[in-house]
Amino acid sequence: MIRSVAFGVGWRYAFSRRSSISFISSVALLGLALSVAVLVIVVSVINGFERELRTRLLGLLPHVTLQAREALVVDAADLDALRTIPGVAGVASFIQGAGLAAVSDRQSGVLIAGIDPDSYGSVSAVSTFTAGGVLEPGRFQVWLGSGVANVLRVEVGDSVTLVLPSALMTPAGIFPRQKRFSVSAIISSRSEIDSRAAYIHQEDAQRLFRLGDRVHGFQLRLDDLFDASEVAAAAVHVIGPERVFSRTWMRTHGTLYHAIGVQKTTMFVLLSFLVAVAAFNLVSTLVMVVDQRDGDIAILRTLGCDSGTIVWAFVLLGVCLGVAGIALGMLVGVACALSLPEFYGWISATFSLDLMNQYFVSYLPVRVIPQDLLGIAVTALVLCVAGTLYPAWRAALLRPSEVLAHE
């Protein structure tokens, strides 16, 4: 009963209209809510980038590439040996080379990839972004990235010329090796691949690159991304280090992936200090409650309320204020985070901005993870509880005789 009365006194004067502390209490609560909301939004955006890197970009790119030192003939025994390596989910041969896509007076640099559509789906999800386009051998068809298609101003059914940097000797002189292809699909993955991709059938690539029945190597997809180094070493051993060398996704995009992880941890720590500052405002509020209502606390002590009860009451008051601020911040943060992609799209379309042109995706990704929300809530609550200890201890040290003597 006495504990309930003690808590009621603190709560009443923390939010009473007649109390000068009510405004400060409201500001402290809103400050905590704003800090939590900012932390939720920032962490959700970083989670979105991490998800897009894992599922979109690394879903399109093979995890391990075995580059042939010299073009080699596809051997079924080599493919079977690679599939038996633990951790390998898919294997496909490939041909790849830099080139130029041209239409009239418009050109765009591309990375020409010769693939077998029947097997390439086991190492890359690129076909899921082509809206049903097909690659048939001998018909010289090409899948172009949407960025390349925009530069060339072409659509499905139009023709483009793929030009290789190697020269072709003819009686009329030296000409670059080139071939006209028809666009059978536009790749729209909304990633950096769209700005340079040109996929053609492997048989057409063998003719364009004049490889005969040879290829440039093999590409692997793994069950676990982070086994890339071990699997790459095993794959090189299987095929032979004198024939191939390996290149993993960690070499091309590993730095970016680790940078996102480090940035998430760094931002969480830095913004936790913002939450700590907001929690300190609760300390100030509770200290003012103690100073202004010391007479009520003294009366409670004379009625038999011990120091532990006073401490418990002020800690509970701080926890209630903290929980209210954290809950409000969570609701606001999640709502703002989920609406950010549409808001960014509207801003970009309205003001013709391309703020994401330096990133591997062209939009603002957001991912709200419940575990992260729980971590933010627990961190903020711990800071709030820690902040209530000093005011509670100060209230417990009040001496009723000295306080009431001055009333």
**pLDDT confidence of residue 6:** 47
More confident position, 283 or 377: 377
More confident position, 216 or 276: 216
Query: Which pLDDT band, with edges at 50, 70 and 90, does 52 fall under?
Result: confident
Sign of torsion, CA 287 288 289 290? positive
Residue 192, strand partner residues: none
Q: Cα separation of 217 and 3, whole Å?
A: 75
Residues 6 or more apart whose Cβ sits within 8 Å of residue 244:
66, 67, 68, 69, 72, 217, 218, 235, 236
Structure tokens at 280: 């300190």
Structure tokens at 278: 């907001």
> Which residue's structure tokens are 């300390």?
283
Hey, is 368 helix, strand or coil? coil
Cβ-in-10-Å burial (0-12, 13-18, 19+) of 405 comes to exposed
**pLDDT confidence of residue 13:** 47
Q: Cα separation of 137 and 116, whole Å?
A: 9
pLDDT value at 18 more than 50: no
pLDDT value at 361 more than 50: yes
Residue 223, strand partner residues: none
Query: Which amino acid is it at 322?
Result: G
Residues 6 or more apart whose Cβ sits within 8 Å of residue 249:
58, 61, 62, 63, 64, 225, 228
Output the average pLDDT for the chain: 83
Mean pLDDT of the region 257-261 = 75
Asked whether the beta carbons of 74 and 215 are under 8 A apart, the reply is: yes
pLDDT value at 135 more than 50: yes
**pLDDT confidence of residue 303:** 60
Residue 180, strand partner residues: 161
pLDDT value at 50 more than 70: yes
Query: Which pLDDT band, with edges at 50, 70 and 90, does 262 fall under?
Result: confident
In percent, the amount of the chain with pLDDT more than 90 equals 42
Hey, is 103 helix, strand or coil? strand
Buried b (16+ CB within 10 A) or exposed e, 249-283: bbeebeeebeebeeebeebbeebbebbbebbbbbb
Asked whether the beta carbons of 296 and 395 are under 8 A apart, the reply is: no
Least-confidence region, from 149-158, 280-289, 314-323, 360-369: 280-289
Sign of torsion, CA 129 131 132 135? negative
pLDDT value at 298 more than 50: yes
More confident position, 193 or 279: 193
Prediction pTM value: 0.73
DSSP at 381: H
Q: Output helix, strand, coil percentages for the chain, rounded to the nearest 5.
A: 55, 20, 20
pLDDT value at 173 more than 60: no
Hey, is 327 helix, strand or coil? helix
Radius of gyration over every alpha carbon of the chain, rounded to an integer in angstroms: 32
**pLDDT confidence of residue 252:** 78
Mean pLDDT of the region 205-222 = 94
More confident position, 209 or 298: 209
**pLDDT confidence of residue 396:** 64
Query: Which pLDDT band, with edges at 50, 70 and 90, does 390 fall under?
Result: confident
**pLDDT confidence of residue 236:** 95
Q: Cα separation of 20 and 60, whole Å?
A: 60
Mean pLDDT of the region 52-76 = 87
Mean pLDDT of the region 187-191 = 85
Mean pLDDT of the region 274-295 = 72
Q: Tell me the per-residue pLDDT of 79-114, one tens digit each, with 9 for 90 and over.
A: 999 999 999 999 999 999 999 999 988 999 999 999
> Which residue's structure tokens are 């809950």?
327
Q: Cα separation of 395 and 307, whole Å?
A: 8
93: left (phi over 0), alpha (psi -120 to 50) or beta: beta
Least-confidence region, from 58-67, 126-135, 240-249: 126-135
- Rounded to the nearest 10 degrees, what angle do helices 254-292 and 294-302 cross at? 70
**pLDDT confidence of residue 176:** 76
